[in-house]
Amino acid sequence: MQKLAILTLVLALAAAKFVDTHASLAQIDANPFGNVVLSAIKAHLQAQSPANEVNMLLNGVAAGLQQDQNDHDHAFEVDTTTNNRIVEDLEKEILYHQNQISSNTQLRDDTIEALAVSEEDIRVTISDIATNEQTYAREEATRNQQHETFVAKVAAIDDVIDAIDDAAKLIQHLSLGASFVQVKSKYETVHKRLTDNTSHSQLLQPVVVALTELATHGVNQKALTKIAQLLSEIRQQLVSEKATKTDVEDRQAAHWAEFSAHLSNEHTRFG
């Protein structure tokens, strides 16, 4: 743009009649481009070239400069358009990333909230599992104790039934004519066994008294019949008691099987 201004000034001087040419030429010569133009004009003048050739030279230089300026302006417009498009694209990119940041921030907040809920659920689940395991252990211990008690009581009943059966055999031998002396050893064994029993001492007390009287007052058929009937009644009571306890044991076992399965399923669900 500055070159074109210098050249315009030169052309003005060439066409002017009443100007301070010395001052203007000094101003032009101070510019590097103006110096080149003046040098070219000086060369033409020294060569005594026609004035129109000098004007043609200046006009050609002016046209070239104008074309350079036009090319520069066009390039500037292209660069400006390109830069504007780049800025627009960058603004879109910035907006996109801002939206992504906002979306990711929301996702982070939602994730943190979900994690907090999950942590609470985990704490509740852990507590439920602990409660489930404690319940299982407690109920299993109770069930084991019930079964052990059942086994011990049934064993005691079986032991008493066995003693009653031995006493019944003893009475049968006496009823068939055996003397007391012949069965004395067996009598003492049976009598001691019934006397030492602690699980059913009250139930066996009448039999123990009857056998004691038998040894004290002697054997008679009436006493033997009474003792045999008493032994039979006691045995029936023992069999009935065993059946009742077995029924209770079966029901408790079935209940435990169902309840333990439920606890196991709950434990699996919690896990």
- The answer to which of 50-59, 158-167, 174-183 has the lowest mean pLDDT is 50-59
Please name the residue that has the structure tokens 């009823």: 175
pLDDT band at 67 (very low <50, low <70, confident <90, very high): confident
What is this structure's pTM?
0.57
pLDDT top residue among 100 and 221:
221
pLDDT value for 133: 80
- The answer to which of 25-34, 157-166, 201-210 has the lowest mean pLDDT is 25-34
Average pLDDT of the chain is 83
* pLDDT exceeds 80 at position 115: no
pLDDT band at 163 (very low <50, low <70, confident <90, very high): very high
pLDDT top residue among 154 and 264:
154
pLDDT digits (tens, 9 = 90+) for 77-95: 887 888 788 778 767 777 8
* Contact yes or no for 227/187 (Cβ under 8 A): no
Q: How far apart are CA 173 and CA 230, in angstroms?
A: 16
Average pLDDT over residues 119-142: 81
Residue 143 exposed, middle or buried by CB count within 10 Å (0-12, 13-18, 19+): middle
Which tokens in the block code for residue 137?
Answer: 């252990």
CA dihedral 225, 227, 229, 234 (to 10 degrees): -170
pLDDT digits (tens, 9 = 90+) for 214-234: 989 888 999 999 999 999 999
pLDDT band at 132 (very low <50, low <70, confident <90, very high): confident
pLDDT band at 57 (very low <50, low <70, confident <90, very high): low
Q: List the domain boundaries for the chain.
A: 2-89, 128-270
Q: What phi, psi does 197 have (nearest 5°)?
A: -65, 135
pLDDT top residue among 11 and 151:
151
* pLDDT exceeds 80 at position 45: no
Max CA pair span of the chain: 186
Average pLDDT over residues 253-259: 93
Amino acid identity, residue 21?
T
pLDDT value for 24: 62
* pLDDT exceeds 70 at position 58: no
- The answer to which of 94-103, 130-139, 208-217 has the lowest mean pLDDT is 94-103
pLDDT value for 198: 92
pLDDT value for 6: 66
Q: How far apart are CA 245 and CA 243, in angstroms?
A: 6
* pLDDT exceeds 50 at position 18: no
